[in-house]
Structures are given as C-alpha cells and as structure tokens.
Amino acid sequence: MASTAELDRYRQAAPQLYELLRHKIISLELLPGAPLSRVQLSADYRVSQTPVREALLRLAEEQLIDVFPQAATKVSLIDTRHAEETHFLRRAIELEIVRDLALNSTPELLATLKSLLDRQVSLQEKQDFGGFAETDQEFHRCMYSAAGKEALWKLVRSRSGHIDRLRRLHLPAAGKITRIVSDHSQILAAIVRGDPLAAQQHLRTHLSGTLESMEQIRASHPQFFTQA
C-alpha cells in the first residue's frame, strides 16, 4: 500500500498519515469497503501505532472509515444521503461566495482562476483524472480563499468524502470533464463581467451534475454504496 518515502521524518507522522490515507480514499486508490490494518499501516510507514491510531480517528470523524471494535476497520461505503447533505451545504455557501466575487473581484483572483482553468484544459487533453479532480478542488478552494472564507472550506472539505468519491466515480463518464471545464469557464466569465446572478446560475448547474447522475453511478458500482 505504502512507500516509506512518502513520510517526511522531520514532520509529525499522524497529520501526514491522515492526508495520505484520505487522498487514497478520495482518489479511490483505497476502494469503499477495503480493509485497513493498523498493524500493517504501522509496518508500511515504519511508525508506531500511535500516529496510525490518530490518523484513523480523524478519518472516522469524517466518516471515511468504519471502525468495528475488536473486529475490523474498513473504508466506509459511499452514503448517498450524506452526499446529498454535503451538496446542500456546499451549494448554499458557494452561491454566496460567487455572488460576492462577481461584485468584488480582483485581477489577482481572475488570473489565478484563469490559470487553474487552463490547467484543467491541459489535464482534460491528457485524460489525467486524478490531476483534473485535484485542480477542480483547487478552483473552488481559491474562490473560498478570495472571499475570506477559508474556515468554511475546511468545514466543507471535512464533510465531502462521500460526495467527492461519488464525483470520482462519475469523472470518467463521457462528456463529464468537458462539462466541468465549460461550467468553470462560465462561472469565471460571469465573475469577470461582474454578473452575480449569472455566476450563481452557472454554479448551481455545475454542482448539480453528479447528483443528477447518482442512480446511474450507483447502478454501475453497487458494491461501493450503502444499502440505505
């Protein structure tokens, strides 16, 4: 699972393990339902079980893993109700953020968003789904930061594990990446024009795409989802 070179021995192990394991879960390198062994993780990363325990605790708090005492620890299955709740939260926050940015944009923000959009186009051409997904997240994080809402980004991120995995399953679908690039282009164009209503409408359309296809995604990967 791991390369020992992934850990920086000059930094605390637990936060690094948390980020590494979280990335593996969100990217679907660790699939929903996959078992996790505290002993094996400790051996893989050459650390004691204490930082492993701390990292797993944070992942459990985000509902990315399920811990069964005296039994097993597994990557959690995707909970569609949790995904829908997070979508509702994120949409409410980001509608206000893009409105504020359309009314108060800066040249620095516009240049950063344009650079990220250009990178997405490049990654689209390469069919680099992992890099594309990360740049997609950075596009949105940049808007939170520009609006002075970094704490809200952390809140949304802490709840996004289920919907982010749903999006990763959806990303290879025909036309999905093209739609994301188009949506981001339209959001950016509306911000450039100073048109808050258009920015909100394009964002609403953008965030709804995966949930509209949720049943098809679930039908294609039933083993990755909860039964409820």
Cα torsion 189, 195, 196, 198: sign:
negative
Torsion angle, alpha carbons of 128, 59, 11, 138, to 10 = 40
84 and 71 housed in the same domain: no
The band of 228, judged by pLDDT with boundaries at 50, 70 and 90, is low
Looking up residue 155, the CATH number of its domain turns out to be: 1.20.120.530
210 and 101 in a common domain: yes
The residue segments making up the domain with residue 101 are 80-224
- Among residues 24, 43, 75, the one where a domain terminates is 75
Measured CA to CA, the distance from residue 128 to residue 121 in angstroms comes to 10
Query: Is there a single domain that holds both residue 114 and residue 64?
Result: no
Q: pLDDT per residue over 28-68, tens digit each?
A: 999 999 999 999 999 999 999 999 999 999 999 999 999 98
Report the SS3 class of residue 66: strand
Same domain, 110 and 193: yes
Q: Which residues contact 162 (CB under 8 A, 6 or more apart)?
A: 63, 76, 78, 79, 80, 82, 83, 86
pLDDT digit string (tens) for 98-136?
999 999 999 999 999 999 999 999 999 999 999 999 999
The pTM (predicted TM-score) of the whole model is 0.92
pLDDT band of residue 71 (cuts 50, 70, 90) is: confident
Are 196 and 149 found together in one domain? yes
Q: Are residues 117 and 213 in the same domain?
A: yes
What's the number of domains the chain is made of? 2
Q: Are residue 40 and residue 139 in the same domain, yes or no?
A: no
Whether residues 68 and 86 share a domain: the answer is no
Task: Tell me which of 26, 52, 75 is where a domain ends.
Answer: 75
pLDDT digit string (tens) for 163-201? 999 999 999 999 999 999 999 999 999 999 999 999 999
